[in-house]
Amino acid sequence: MHAGLMMQRPVLASLLGCLIGSALLAPSGAYAGEGDGEGGVADPEPLAGPQIEGVDDGPEQGAARPVDSQRLALAESAPDPAQPPEKERHRLFPLGGRAAIARGYRIPEPWGLGALMVWTDTRFDTRNLSAAVRKGGDPSPDVQMTALPSVTTHRLEGDNRLMGFKADLWLFPGVNFFASIGKVKGNNRIDVDVDLDQVVPFPFCRPAKPCGTVRLPIDTRVSNTTVTLGTILVYGNEKWFVLGTVAKTVSISSKQRSDVESTNLGLRGGTRFRLGENTYLAPYFGANYFDLDTTVKGVVASGPLFEDGEGIHLRYKVDMSARKPWAAVAGFNVELSRHLTFQAELQAGAESTRILASTGVRF
């Protein structure tokens, strides 16, 4: 049994890949939507300094201390003017970031690089199936294929794994653009039922000796290159965040087989817990919609079916789409520091399951 089918359900790598923790967050007392923070938001530091008073409470309560002595102490503790001040970082991105910092907000490191892994198990619907059947050999590649009621699909599912890399940039506070590229490996399975009495001519199939229906199971290996481009919009404060994602994915198959295009829309929201100075945990929930449309084509052959030892060869072309595009989302993001993040996510739908994990660095 052999098959020429190649199809792939592209996986959004986004794919958020550790971008969820980069939510734009406002410091205490500010209204939501004015700040951002990869690695969390630090409340503005209060202005603290010695109180210049005429007296200073000490061991002897109420003992007076001259004002000139206190000024002398302040002068001694002042930084040496000969020492150069700490060099300020000047960066182009995110645009408007310096103004946000001046208002007391903590913004993320603008650039991100990371690695991701995604496992996908999906069921599909098929439509517009056309085919050509030939006994004993493959139909010609330029054969006219037509819709044959005698040829139907019984099962269409994929089990694939993606390994890839991603990069992102905070263009503005709260607006992130990302891209990922990866390699998909796995298997796609489809069952095709063929009514031989309708497609095989007399005398091989005849009323006195019907051939019946044969099921052709197709199990193909997947080896696709997947590219994703998308954006993330974030809104929130130091306690919670909401983000929306839009991404376009193209999965380019090898050996002149079918490519796949999809559009991914997602909405997620959650809370943030501060575990350390620059360490945060952000669990979240949401929903994801994966709109997939593609055309799959290939050739499959049966084993011996007739008295002469020959089988049938089926060339087919079929449109397919995700059977149930909606999925519930649950995951978490851990910001180990301003420069290191880790994310894990589960997407569970009626006809699909996806698990992703990613790690990244920011600079």
**Amino acid type, 62:** G
Cα 58 versus chain centre, distance:
61
CATH number at residue 95: 2.40.128
121-178 pLDDT per residue, tens: 989 888 888 889 898 899 999 998 888 888 888 888 888 899 999 999 999 988 999 9
Q: Domain count for the chain, please give it.
A: 1
Closest listed residue to residue 156, CA positions, set 263, 254, 298: 298
Residue in this structure with the two tokens 């709260």, named with its chain if needed: 174
Residue 299 domain-assigned (yes or no)? yes
Residue 13 domain-assigned (yes or no)? no
246-261 pLDDT per residue, tens: 999 998 876 656 677 8
Q: In the numeric block, which tokens belong to residue 212?
A: 């019946």
Residue spans of alpha helices (H) in 194-246: 196-199
Q: Residue 257 contacts by C-beta under 8 Å, 6 or more apart in sequence? A: 4, 5, 6, 7, 297, 298
178-237 pLDDT per residue, tens: 999 999 888 888 888 998 888 887 777 877 778 888 988 877 778 889 999 999 999 888
Q: What is the pLDDT of residue 57?
A: 43
Residue 33 domain-assigned (yes or no)? yes
Q: What is the pLDDT of residue 76?
A: 52
Residue 209 domain-assigned (yes or no)? yes
**Amino acid type, 349:** G
Residue 6 domain-assigned (yes or no)? no
Please give the Cα distance from 216 to 152 (Å, whole number).
Answer: 10
Q: Supply the pTM of this predicted model.
A: 0.71
Most confident region among 89-98, 99-108, 254-263, 321-330 by mean pLDDT: 321-330
Q: What is the pLDDT of residue 257?
A: 60
Residue 14 domain-assigned (yes or no)? no
- Under 8 Å between Cβ of 21 and 274: no
Residue 242 domain-assigned (yes or no)? yes
Residue 89 CB: number of other CB atoms within 10 A? 7
Residue 196 domain-assigned (yes or no)? yes
Please give the Cα distance from 199 to 94 (Å, whole number).
Answer: 63
Q: Residue 90 contacts by C-beta under 8 Å, 6 or more apart in sequence? A: none
Q: Report, as an integer, the average pLDDT of 112-121.
A: 95
Residue 131 CB: number of other CB atoms within 10 A? 23
Q: What is the pLDDT of residue 229?
A: 97
114 is in which domain, residue-wise? 20-43+90-362
